[in-house]
């Protein structure tokens, strides 16, 4: 009467969609102008990946973070990670959505895992060096834009693991295997 199973052929559309969400999260993190870090108490200092501002009310003075080598490295790692995610998304669409070509999924998994490694390095370097170089006093909070960077990285990590595991389920994804029911009431 009631059966609950996993429809693998429909699931193969989900992974490219998750990669698309990771790309969107990365773009939000990289392009955010409101800041990755802000001063909690006085609201007199905030920074994004590119610039930091000090001041009050209408008198804000912005200085580029790109004069620091660590900020250049963070920007480069995040942008390279975004480019690798876009390439992985395109290859995953070809491998899973257009035709079922599971020989490409380990390549996609490798690209995504490389992206995760680069972005974890960038997302750790930024707060360490920011705290070391630019914070003189007070308490700072990392905002939603920095959180989107971590969200994209965590989402990509899950996708990378799944893409590496997909070749084991070739029959299920192609629809040739018999459906395995998780729950069946008869």
Q: What is the pTM of this model?
A: 0.84
pLDDT along the chain (186 residues), means of 10: 56 86 94 81 76 79 88 94 95 83 86 96 90 75 89 94 77 64 63
Q: Sheet of 140-142: strands edge to edge?
A: 59-64, 51-56, 45-47, 37-39, 140-142
**Residue-range domain boundaries for the chain:** 8-33+66-178
Q: Which helix (H) or strand (E) holds 39?
A: strand 37-39
Domain 8-33+66-178 in this protein, CATH class? mainly alpha
Per-residue pLDDT at 1: 40
Per-residue pLDDT at 20: 95
Per-residue pLDDT at 89: 94
Rounded to an integer, what is the distance from CA 168 to the centroid of its chain?
25
Per-residue pLDDT at 36: 81
Per-residue pLDDT at 96: 81
DSSP secondary structure string for all residues of 36-83: SEEESSS--EEE-SSEEEEEETTEEEEEEGGGSHHHHHHHHHHHHHHH
């Amino acid at each position: 009467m009631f059966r609950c199973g996993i429809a693998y052929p429909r699931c193969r559309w989900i992974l490219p969609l998750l990669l698309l969400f990771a790309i969107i999260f990365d773009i939000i993190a990289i392009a955010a102008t409101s800041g990755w870090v802000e001063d909690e108490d006085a609201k007199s200092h905030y920074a994004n990946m590119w610039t930091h501002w000090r001041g009050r009310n209408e008198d804000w003075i912005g200085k580029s973070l790109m004069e620091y080598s660590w900020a250049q490295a963070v920007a480069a790692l995040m942008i390279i990670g975004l480019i690798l995610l876009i390439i992985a998304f395109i290859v995953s669409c070809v491998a899973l959505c257009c035709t079922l070509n599971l020989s490409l999924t380990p390549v996609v998994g490798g690209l995504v895992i490389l992206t995760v490694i680069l972005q974890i390095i960038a997302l750790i370097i930024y707060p360490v060096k920011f705290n070391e170089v630019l914070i003189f006093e007070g308490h700072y909070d990392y905002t939603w834009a920095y959180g989107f960077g971590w969200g994209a990285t965590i989402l990509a990590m899950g996708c990378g693991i799944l893409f590496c595991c997909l070749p084991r389920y070739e029959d299920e994804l192609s629809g040739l295997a018999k459906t395995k029911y998780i729950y069946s009431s008869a």
